[in-house]
Amino acid sequence: MANKNLFIIIAVIALLAVGGAVYYFMQQPASSNNPPAGSSDNNINSPETTPPASEGSQTYNIEISGFSFKPSELTIKTGDIVTWTNQDPFSHTITSDSGSELNSEKFGKGETYSHTFNTAGTYEYHCAPHPVMKGKIIVE
């Protein structure tokens, strides 16, 4: 009987901890729509103000939903633009695994982050508040 009561107490504590974490992330404010100072390639925008693609470049969209990037891997050409759109009720970031090529502020549901990839290479990234969320852009 004592083991059953201990199990119930542990289960209640675990549920409270998960509930508290969910509440915390839901209360995080969405970032402003201003790009970081001194940056012309990184933009956080509402969907209707995504920067236009330069002549000859393509724009690709990645959806953020269910705590994942869809698609999680994308191959593009130099000069192409990738726009991430957050569909989750939680704020997310686009953060380079190494280096600082991708470094968005938190952006909330319905907001976007766009980046023009001007250099060939492989860019692996994650969401800073949710590091289990991972993605990769391959620029040819």
pLDDT reported for residue 35: 36
Q: Do 67 and 5 fall into the same domain?
A: no
| 55 in the same domain as 100 | yes
Q: What does the pLDDT read at residue 8?
A: 73
Q: Are residues 23 and 36 in the same domain?
A: no
Q: For position 20, what pLDDT does the model report?
A: 53
Q: Are residues 45 and 94 in the same domain?
A: yes
Q: Tell me if 111 sits within 8 A of 90, measured CB to CB.
A: no
Q: Which of 88, 70, 91, 80 is nearest to 135 (CA)?
A: 70
CATH number of the structural domain spanning residue 100: 2.60.40.420
> How many structural domains are present in the chain?
2
Tell me, yes or no, whether 20 and 78 share the same domain.
no
Is-above-0.85 flag for pTM? Answer: no
Are 16 and 83 part of one and the same domain?
no
Using alpha carbons, select from 90, 86, 95, 87 the residue that is nearest to residue 127: 95
Domain assignment of residue 115, given as a range: 31-139
- Mean per-residue pLDDT pooled into runs of 10, the chain (140 residues): 71 60 50 36 41 73 98 97 97 94 96 96 97 97
